[in-house]
């Protein structure tokens, strides 16, 4: 079900909406990638951070009142927001405000997603928006939130939940919904052991995107009731949504093209394999996620880097890249890249061969390396002659290797290898 009201109607709704981005999660399924940073601050796509996607969606949708709720290892995230998202004009009522865990209610930190918002109700009351858009800060997608808010208002819903179709084998990672023909939610189970497929769609479930629309008044009401419940885990997916289904109108917003019914691009990069595949997708000739769309730009902070450079032109050491993404400040010196992505200021030494490699900012890859299906974390220095991806058992002894055979290489892992050698 999609909105067909004119743009001025939608823009009036987004102007009266305040977005809250939940960015305090640890992201433990990303393993060592989140040892030093919150998951939303993880670099993605060569020059971005994951949180840039919901933030850019807000700006492009006309929502310019945004709160970012932080908690776990937030320094990198705060620094990025200060550098890249401090251009809003307060005199026009625009802002991106940082809302760190401050023990607002009692001596505890944020206990769950719902509690994080509950502890910031004073912030909502001060700005007094008509609608509140609650967003996860750790997904990759481009979405016009105005259409979802318009559907929420048109349906006179108490809660609207953004959702996508996912394979049933992945359903245990999400909140799984059941809806009736009018898109009203009739069932919601968070990360079920035995997920129920959609009617007439064997092998597919309807999964929550972690995106919710409330009226300010109703959100305040349900959060207060949840906070008073000692049995609650104070989570939107586990508590707020399931508890509201029978007593209030909870409606699904299916994230798909209104005309074709084709589902839009959306990725939960919650584990290492998903993070790897979402980055690697960008190296395809026509990636599903179009970062070159000037109508819906992804904004970020970008350090001033010189252009990428490829040097040396001999038969056995020619700097070149095929089907790859190479960001500013990178130097490929007599090395070959295939289906790889180099983030800002990464360098590759001569005689090295990289295939299916995702290098995060400031990675340094030495000479004579052979790397296949590897994620190289920020600031990692890969020693000369390193070989990864040819001997899985050897790789598992030294590094973290996923179920799909992707090797994760972080500074602490290299330190451990050096210590043992």
pLDDT digits 0-9 by tens, 176-235:
999 999 999 999 999 898 888 888 788 899 999 999 999 999 999 999 999 999 999 999
**How buried is residue 179: exposed, middle or buried, by Cβ count under 10 Å (0-12/13-18/19+)?**
buried
3-state helix, strand and coil shares in percent for the chain, rounded to the nearest 5: 30, 30, 45
Below-70 pLDDT ranges, the chain: 1-9, 103-107
Task: Spell out the residues 6+ positions from residue 27 whose beta carbon is closer than 8 angstroms to its own.
Answer: 33, 34, 38, 39, 42, 138, 270
Assess contact for 268 and 261: CB atoms under 8 A.
Answer: no
The per-residue pLDDT for range 355-410, each reduced to its tens digit, is 999 999 999 999 999 999 999 999 999 999 999 999 999 999 999 999 999 999 99
The DSSP bridge partners found for residue 215 are 131
Q: What is the DSSP track for 266-292? A: EEE--SHHHHHHHHHHTTSSS-SS-TT
Which domains are delineated in the chain?
Answer: 7-281 (3.90.550.10), 309-420 (2.160.10.10)
Report the pLDDT value the prediction gives residue 6, as an integer from 0 to 100.
Answer: 54
Q: Other CB atoms closer than 10 Å to residue 277's CB: what's the count?
A: 14
- Output DSSP code: residue 130: S
Report the pLDDT value the prediction gives residue 420, as an integer from 0 to 100.
Answer: 83
Handedness of CA 40, 46, 52, 57 (dihedral sign): negative
Label the pairing between strands 95-100 and 139-141.
unpaired
- Output DSSP code: residue 238: I
Q: Report the chain's C-alpha Rg in angstroms.
A: 23
**Distance separating alpha carbons of residues 388 and 349, to the nearest angstrom:** 16
Query: How many degrees, rounded to 5, is the angle at CA 44 between CA 255 and CA 278?
Result: 50
The reported pTM is 0.94
**Distance separating alpha carbons of residues 198 and 177, to the nearest angstrom:** 9
Assess contact for 357 and 316: CB atoms under 8 A.
Answer: no
The DSSP bridge partners found for residue 205 are 166
| Buried/exposed 284-299: b ≥16 CB within 10 Å, e otherwise | eeebebeeeeeeeebe
Report the pLDDT value the prediction gives residue 1, as an integer from 0 to 100.
Answer: 47
List the structure tokens of 319.
Answer: 């700097």
Assess contact for 344 and 47: CB atoms under 8 A.
Answer: yes
The DSSP bridge partners found for residue 20 are 67, 134
List the structure tokens of 167.
Answer: 């394979």
Assess contact for 188 and 221: CB atoms under 8 A.
Answer: no
List the structure tokens of 401.
Answer: 């290797």
List the structure tokens of 129.
Answer: 């928006």
Q: Other CB atoms closer than 10 Å to residue 259's CB: what's the count?
A: 7
């Amino acid at each position: 079900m999609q909105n067909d009201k004119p743009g001025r109607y939608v823009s009036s709704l987004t102007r009266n909406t305040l977005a809250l981005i939940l960015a305090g999660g640890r992201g433990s399924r990303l393993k060592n990638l989140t040892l030093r940073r919150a998951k939303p601050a993880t670099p993605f796509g060569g020059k971005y951070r994951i949180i840039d996607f919901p933030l850019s969606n807000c700006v492009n949708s006309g929502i310019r009142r945004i709160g970012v709720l932080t908690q776990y290892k937030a320094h990198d995230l705060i620094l990025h927001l200060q550098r890249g998202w401090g251009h809003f004009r307060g005199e026009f009522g625009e802002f991106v405000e940082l809302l760190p865990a401050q023990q607002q209610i009692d001596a505890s930190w944020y206990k769950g997603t719902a509690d994080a918002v509950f502890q910031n109700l004073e912030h909502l009351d001060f700005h007094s928006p008509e609608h509140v858009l609650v967003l996860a800060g750790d997904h990759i997608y481009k979405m016009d939130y105005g259409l979802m808010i318009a559907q929420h208002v048109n349906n006179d819903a108490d809660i609207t939940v953004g959702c996508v179709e996912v394979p049933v084998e992945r359903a245990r990672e999400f909140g799984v919904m059941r809806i009736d023909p009018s898109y009203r939610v009739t069932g919601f189970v968070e990360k079920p052991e035995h997920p129920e497929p959609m009617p007439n769609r064997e092998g597919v479930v309807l999964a929550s995107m972690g995106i919710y629309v409330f009226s300010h008044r109703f959100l305040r009401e349900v959060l207060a009731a949840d906070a008073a419940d000692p049995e609650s885990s104070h989570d939107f997916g586990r508590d707020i949504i399931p508890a509201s289904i029978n007593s209030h109108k909870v409606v699904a917003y299916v994230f798909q093209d209104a005309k074709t019914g084709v589902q839009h691009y959306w990725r939960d990069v919650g584990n290492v394999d998903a993070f790897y595949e979402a980055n690697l997708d960008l190296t395809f000739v026509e990636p599903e996620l179009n970062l070159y769309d000037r109508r819906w730009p992804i904004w970020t902070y970008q350090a001033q880097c010189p252009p990428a450079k490829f040097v040396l032109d001999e038969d056995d050491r020619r700097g070149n890249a095929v089907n790859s993404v190479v960001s500013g400040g990178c130097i490929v010196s007599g090395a070959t890249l295939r289906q790889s992505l180099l983030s800002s200021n990464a360098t590759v030494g001569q005689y090295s061969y990289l295939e299916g490699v995702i290098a995060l900012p400031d990675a340094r890859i030495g000479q004579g390396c052979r790397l296949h299906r590897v994620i190289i974390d920020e600031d990692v220095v890969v020693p000369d002659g390193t070989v990864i991806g040819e001997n899985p058992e050897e790789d598992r002894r030294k590094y973290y290797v996923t179920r799909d055979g992707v090797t994760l290489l972080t500074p602490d892992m290299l330190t451990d290898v050096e210590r043992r050698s």
